[in-house]
């Protein structure tokens, strides 16, 4: 008997080339936010190292995270007909992600991004290739669809996805919008917003989506929920996250780092995808979110978004020895 997919991740995948910078500066505003990376203009900038990681991206990271936790996960993504595509597919196969829905598009290139890594954070130079996106034929409904970033020619694809979701009300949706999806706006993606079970974004993204400068978490969460999602989750970097469902609103701090973070790429993806994985395992929301923050803590100890992703038993080990203040507290 064919087993239904637990989590179908939909979104672009890419190759990330991590370039570790040696000489740069970081400037931030008075709140320590809206930081800018600065390097000397019209100069030769030395770098320390480069590391190339295949098969990454928001949806790809989610697919790998769910597979490591033990779920049947699949990825619907488009790649080119180049060696980078083969590298990505090989990586997913090694990580037990179902690759049967990945499309190799003849004559196209695979996405390739450059990650400028300075101190413990990164600035990513992105270019989404334009593919001929289409919703796949799915003989069985997935339990969850995890939707994230795609190219800016994907509006018809989003409309197809929206129609599928409206026709399949039993499929739960996790939405972690990328840059273009935020640019499209809520009205354009109303079918997706209205069907979203859980929505993830960071504080600055919430302000952008809602077109406000509000900093209060309660108001941001309420604003996101007013757009349609049943559960809103807003992350705030080292301040942890806040969440609101139909009955409660609460805050959870970061899980303490066992040592200083090495590199922060994928921290938000780890939180979101791990939370969805444990929701798919019927865990209550606060418990699932705490495990998401544990996986985020682990990810920032490694380079890239996937090396530090933990299997379920390791997440539970960290949870068992959690500090007493690592808990959901009402806002």
Kindly report the CATH number assigned to the domain that includes residue 255. Answer: 3.40.1190.20
Q: Which domain holds residue 259?
A: 7-12+56-108+139-330
Say if 17 falls within a structural domain: no
In the chain, the number of structural domains is: 1
Q: How far is CA 315 from CA 24, 196, 254, 259, 325, in A?
A: 35, 26, 14, 17, 17
Looking at residue 265, its pLDDT comes to: 86
Looking at residue 31, its pLDDT comes to: 77
How many Cβ atoms are within 10 Å of 282's Cβ, its own excluded? 7
Give the residue from 306, 273, 310 showing the smallest Cα distance to 7. Answer: 273
Say if 297 falls within a structural domain: yes
Residues of the chain under the 50 pLDDT cut? none
Say if 127 falls within a structural domain: no
- Alpha carbon distance 199, 189 (integer Å): 13
DSSP 3-state of 136: coil
Say if 209 falls within a structural domain: yes
Say if 207 falls within a structural domain: yes
Looking at residue 323, its pLDDT comes to: 97
- Alpha carbon distance 83, 263 (integer Å): 27
pLDDT tens for each residue of 190-214 = 999 999 999 999 999 999 999 999 9
- 137, 103 Cβ separation under 8 angstroms: no
Helix axes 83-94, 58-69, angle to 10 degrees: 30
* 73-76 and 7-10 strand pairing: parallel
Say if 172 falls within a structural domain: yes
- Alpha carbon distance 250, 313 (integer Å): 26
Say if 319 falls within a structural domain: yes
Looking at residue 1, its pLDDT comes to: 62
Looking at residue 264, its pLDDT comes to: 84
Say if 311 falls within a structural domain: yes
Looking at residue 191, its pLDDT comes to: 96
pLDDT tens for each residue of 55-64 = 999 999 999 9
């Amino acid at each position: 008997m064919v087993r239904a997919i637990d989590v179908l991740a939909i979104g672009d995948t890419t190759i990330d080339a991590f370039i570790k910078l040696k000489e740069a500066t970081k400037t931030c505003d008075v709140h320590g936010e809206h930081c800018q990376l600065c390097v000397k203009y019209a100069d030769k900038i030395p770098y320390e190292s480069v590391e190339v990681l295949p098969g990454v991206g928001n949806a790809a990271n989610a697919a790998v995270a769910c597979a490591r936790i033990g779920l049947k996960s699949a990825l619907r993504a488009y790649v080119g007909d180049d060696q980078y595509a083969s590298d990505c597919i090989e990586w997913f196969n090694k990580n037990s992600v179902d690759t049967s829905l990945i499309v190799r598009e003849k004559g196209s290139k695979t996405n390739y991004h450059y990650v400028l890594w300075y101190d413990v954070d990164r600035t990513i130079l992105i270019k989404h290739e334009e593919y001929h996106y289409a919703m796949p034929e799915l003989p069985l409904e997935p339990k969850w669809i995890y939707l994230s970033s795609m190219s800016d020619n994907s509006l018809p694809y989003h409309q197809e996805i929206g129609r599928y979701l409206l026709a399949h009300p039993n499929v739960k949706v996790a939405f972690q919008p990328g840059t273009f999806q935020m640019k499209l706006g809520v009205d354009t993606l109303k079918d997706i917003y209205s069907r979203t079970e859980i929505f993830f974004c960071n504080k600055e993204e919430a302000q952008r989506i809602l077109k406000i400068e509000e900093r209060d978490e309660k108001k941001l969460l309420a604003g996101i929920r007013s757009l349609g999602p049943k559960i809103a989750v807003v992350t705030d970097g080292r301040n942890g996250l806040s969440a609101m469902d139909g009955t409660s609103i609460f805050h959870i701090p970061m899980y303490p780092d066992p040592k200083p973070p090495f590199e922060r790429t994928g921290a938000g993806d780890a939180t979101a995808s791990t939370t969805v994985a444990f929701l798919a395992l019927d865990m209550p929301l606060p418990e699932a979110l705490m495990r998401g923050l544990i996986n985020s803590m682990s990810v920032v100890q490694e380079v890239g978004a996937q090396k530090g992703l933990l299997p379920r038993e390791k997440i539970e080990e960290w949870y068992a020895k959690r500090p007493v203040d690592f808990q959901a507290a009402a806002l």
